[in-house]
């Protein structure tokens, strides 16, 4: 059983922020900013490709509620919503989860570095995706 399933089952304590029949949200134990919240489906799914549409909708609606709660109650102007899908993408716990990261001006968190496409590369990517 994964660590998030143990948290969901009450075997490991957490700081719960939100809960309904399908979703649990709790504070990240190593936050990027205070209020950094993890939002997880109560049913175990390893990644976003595995989750059924009904549970995904419940998850996204909970993210929306929690994001608004963070803005209103913590006085932040914005937040990032992030989901790392697979180990190579930085997923550390193999249970689907979204991060809601409160943001402040000057908090030191920057955007990802961006890269451009080489000549013809974008066209090749689109061709592969549409094939």
Region 93-98 average pLDDT? 97
Q: What is the pLDDT of residues 51-78, one digit of tens each?
A: 999 999 999 999 999 999 999 999 998 9
pLDDT at 112 over 90: no
Does residue 94 sit within a domain? yes
pLDDT above 90 coverage of the chain, percent: 90
Does residue 123 sit within a domain? no
Is 104 noted as a catalytic residue in this protein?
no
pLDDT at 114 over 90: no
User: What is the distance between the alpha carbons of residues 10 and 59, in angstroms, rounded to a whole number?
Assistant: 20
Does residue 131 sit within a domain? no
pTM of the model: 0.92
Does residue 103 sit within a domain? yes
Does residue 81 sit within a domain? yes
Residue partners of 48: CB distance under 8 A and separation at least 6: 56, 83, 85, 96
**Which of 36, 95, 97, 99 does the annotation list as catalytic?**
97
Tally of structural domains, the chain: 1
Q: Domain of 41? A: 3-112
pLDDT at 113: 84
Q: Supply the CATH number for residue 99's domain.
A: 3.30.428.10
Does residue 120 sit within a domain? no
Does residue 58 sit within a domain? yes
User: What is the distance between the alpha carbons of residues 22 and 59, in angstroms, rounded to a whole number?
Assistant: 8
């Amino acid at each position: 059983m994964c660590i998030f399933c143990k948290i969901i089952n009450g075997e490991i304590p957490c700081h719960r922020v939100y809960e309904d029949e399908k979703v649990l949200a709790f504070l990240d134990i190593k936050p990027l900013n205070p209020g950094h919240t993890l939002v997880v489906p109560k049913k175990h799914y390893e990644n976003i490709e595995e989750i059924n549409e009904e549970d995904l909708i419940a998850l996204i609606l909970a993210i929306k509620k929690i994001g608004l709660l963070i803005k209103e109650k913590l006085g932040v102007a914005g937040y990032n919503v992030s989901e790392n899908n697979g180990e190579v993408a930085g997923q550390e716990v193999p249970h689907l989860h979204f991060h809601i990261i409160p943001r402040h001006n000057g908090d030191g968190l920057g955007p990802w570095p961006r890269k451009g496409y080489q000549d013809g590369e974008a066209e090749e990517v689109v061709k592969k995706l549409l094939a």
